[in-house]
C-alpha cells in the first residue's frame, strides 16, 4: 500500500462535506484535521465525520499535515494558500485559484520558489465520464473537433444556498463560480484556449434571497451575472459559452462538441459521471458506455488524491495550478473583452493534463 499523506482542511462550509464524504475512497489520504475561522464550524464538521477540529494556526503548524485543502471563500483563496505554502505545506484549493490572475500568479510563484505543489479544483474532469469522452475524442470518434457549446444557466443561487451573498460579491458571479467546471473540462478535451470574445452584463443591482434562513433579505450585486461569448482554442475549435444567474429556464445540454465526422454530448462537468452520446454525420444519437473509473459517485477529493500520488511518484499532478491559472485567465478575459469590444489573447499555455488510468489511481 502507498504511504499515506496527511491532509488538513481549512474551510468547513457547505462544500467541505462533499470532500469529507469522498475522501475515504482514496486510501492515500489521511484527514488529520479540520479548521475554520469559526471554531464552531470546524467542531461541527469534526463531530459529523469523527475528525479533529483545530484552529487555522494549529493546523498550519501541525507536522502531520502534508497537504492543505483550501475550501475557504474565493476572496481569500490566495491569502490562505500563501500561508499554507509559507508553513511548508502543499496546497490544493477550491476553485477558482484566485479572483484575479495577478494574485493567483503570486501563489504559483510562491509554490515554485518553495518547491511545493499547488493544485486546484475542479477535479470533475478526472471523472470517468469525462475521461471516456477524452479517449473517444483522441481516438477520432467525431473526427476533428470544429465547434461546440457550453451552457450553465439558472435563476441564481439565492434560491437554495443558506448564505448566497458571496456569489454576488467580488470573486463571485456565474463565470468564476461555474465557469471553472466547463472551461477546465474543455481544456481537458481540446487543449488550451488561444483567445476569447465576450460580453458581461448585470441586469439587476440587487437580489432577494428566497432560501432559509435568510429568506426575504436583499443583497447587492457587484459582479456580472450573465456572461457569454466565444472560446477559440489553439486546436482551432470554436466554443460558444454562456454562464448565467439570470435565466429562468432553458433546454440546452451542458456541453456539446461538433466535429468533421460527428457530434458528442458530454455530461455535466459539475459531476464525475453522466450519460455520453455520440452521433455520426446524418445518424442518430447513441449512448456510449463509460469506460473509466470514478463515474458512479461523488469523488470530490480525486484531485487531492492524484496530487498525493503524484508527490509519491514524482510526476505532475493533473488538477494543477498551471491549469487553474489558465482557466482563470480565460474567465477574466470575458470582462476585458466586454469592456474593450475586442478579442483578448490568452498568454498562458498549460500542458493538457495526462489522461487518467482507466481503472483508477
Last residue of a domain, one of 84, 99, 120: 120
Helix, strand or coil, per DSSP, at residue 49: helix
Helix, strand or coil, per DSSP, at residue 111: helix
In a domain, residue 316? The reply is no
Residues 162, 103 within the same domain: no
Q: Is the dihedral of CA 82, 93, 126, 199 positive or negative?
A: negative
Residues 137, 247 within the same domain: yes
With 0-12 CB in 10 A as exposed, 13-18 as middle and 19+ as buried, what is 202?
middle
Greatest C-alpha distance within the chain: 62
In a domain, residue 305? The reply is no
pTM of the complete model: 0.96
Cell of 136: 473517444
Domain extent for 185: 125-294+326-345
Residues 39, 143 within the same domain: no
Backbone angles phi, psi at 339, to 5 degrees: -70, -35
In a domain, residue 236? The reply is yes
Residues whose CB falls within 8 Å of the CB of residue 85, separated by 6 or more in sequence, listed in order: 91, 107, 110, 111, 114, 116, 118
Residues 283, 177 within the same domain: yes
Q: What is the pLDDT of residue 37?
A: 94
Q: What is the pLDDT of residue 262?
A: 98
In a domain, residue 228? The reply is yes
Residues 163, 253 within the same domain: yes
Residue 145's closest CA among 233, 213, 82? 233
Cell of 3: 504511504
Residues 13, 38 within the same domain: yes
Q: What is the pLDDT of residue 1?
A: 59
In a domain, residue 300? The reply is no
DSSP per-residue string spanning 264-301: EEEPPTTSS---EEEEETTS--EEE---SSS-SS--TT
Residues 201, 338 within the same domain: yes
Express each pLDDT in 209-242 by its tens digit: 999 999 999 999 999 999 999 999 999 999 999 9
In a domain, residue 273? The reply is yes
Last residue of a domain, one of 120, 140, 158: 120
In a domain, residue 35? The reply is yes
CATH number of the CATH domain containing 53: 3.40.50.720
Cell of 47: 463531530
Residues 168, 290 within the same domain: yes
Last residue of a domain, one of 76, 104, 120: 120
Q: What is the pLDDT of residue 11?
A: 98
Q: What is the pLDDT of residue 194?
A: 98
Cβ count within 10 A of residue 139: 8
Residues 184, 159 within the same domain: yes
Question: Which residues of the chain fall short of a pLDDT of 70?
Answer: 1
Is residue 298 within 8 A of residue 18, CB to CB? The reply is yes
Q: What is the pLDDT of residue 2?
A: 73
CATH number of the CATH domain containing 225: 3.30.360.10
Residues 115, 141 within the same domain: no
Sheet containing strand 255-259, strands side by side: 286-288, 276-280, 262-266, 255-259, 145-153, 238-244, 226-233, 193-201, 344-345
Residues 105, 186 within the same domain: no
Residues 39, 163 within the same domain: no
In a domain, residue 361? The reply is no
**Total count of domains within the chain:** 2
Amino acid at each position: 500500500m502507498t504511504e499515506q499523506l496527511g491532509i488538513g482542511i481549512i474551510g468547513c462550509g457547505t462544500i467541505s462535506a462533499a470532500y469529507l464524504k469522498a475522501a475515504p475512497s482514496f486510501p492515500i489520504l489521511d484527514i488529520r484535521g479540520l479548521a475554520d475561522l469559526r471554531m464552531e464550524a470546524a467542531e461541527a464538521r469534526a463531530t459529523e465525520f469523527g475528525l479533529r477540529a483545530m484552529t487555522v494556526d494549529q493546523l498550519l503548524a501541525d507536522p502531520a499535515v502534508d497537504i492543505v485543502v483550501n475550501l475557504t471563500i474565493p476572496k481569500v483563496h490566495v491569502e490562505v494558500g500563501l500561508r499554507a505554502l509559507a508553513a511548508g505545506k502543499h496546497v490544493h484549493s477550491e476553485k477558482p485559484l484566485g479572483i484575479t490572475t495577478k494574485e493567483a500568479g503570486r501563489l504559483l510563484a510562491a509554490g515554485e520558489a518553495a518547491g511545493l505543489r499547488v493544485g486546484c479544483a475542479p477535479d470533475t474532469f478526472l471523472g470517468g465520464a469525462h475521461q471516456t469522452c477524452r479517449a473517444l475524442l483522441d481516438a477520432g470518434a467525431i473526427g476533428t473537433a470544429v465547434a461546440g457549446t457550453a451552457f450553465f444557466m439558472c435563476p441564481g443561487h439565492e434560491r437554495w444556498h443558506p448564505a448566497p451573498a458571496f456569489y454576488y460579491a467580488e470573486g463571485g458571479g456565474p463565470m468564476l463560480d461555474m465557469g471553472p467546471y466547463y472551461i477546465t473540462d474543455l481544456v481537458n478535451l481540446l487543449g488550451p484556449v488561444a483567445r476569447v470574445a465576450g460580453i458581461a452584463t448585470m441586469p439587476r443591482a440587487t437580489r432577494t434571497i428566497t432560501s432559509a434562513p435568510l429568506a426575504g433579505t436583499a443583497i447587492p450585486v457587484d459582479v456580472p451575472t450573465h456572461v457569454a461569448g466565444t472560446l477559440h482554442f489553439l486546436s482551432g475549435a470554436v466554443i460558444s459559452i454562456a454562464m448565467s444567474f439570470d435565466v429562468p429556464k432553458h433546454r440546452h445540454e451542458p456541453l456539446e462538441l461538433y466535429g468533421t465526422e460527428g457530434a458528442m454530448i458530454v455530461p455535466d462537468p459539475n459531476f464525475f459521471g453522466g450519460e455520453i452520446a455520440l452521433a455520426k454525420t446524418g445518424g442518430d444519437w447513441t449512448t456510449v458506455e463509460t469506460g473509466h473509473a470514478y463515474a458512479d459517485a461523488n469523488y470530490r477529493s480525486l484531485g487531492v488524491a492524484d496530487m498525493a500520488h503524484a508527490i509519491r511518484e514524482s510526476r505532475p499532478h493533473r488538477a494543477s495550478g498551471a491549469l487553474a491559472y489558465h482557466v482563470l485567465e480565460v474567465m477574466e478575459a470575458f470582462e476585458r473583452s466586454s469592456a474593450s469590444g475586442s478579442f483578448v489573447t490568452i498568454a498562458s499555455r498549460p500542458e493538457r493534463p495526462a489522461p487518467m488510468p482507466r481503472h483508477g489511481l
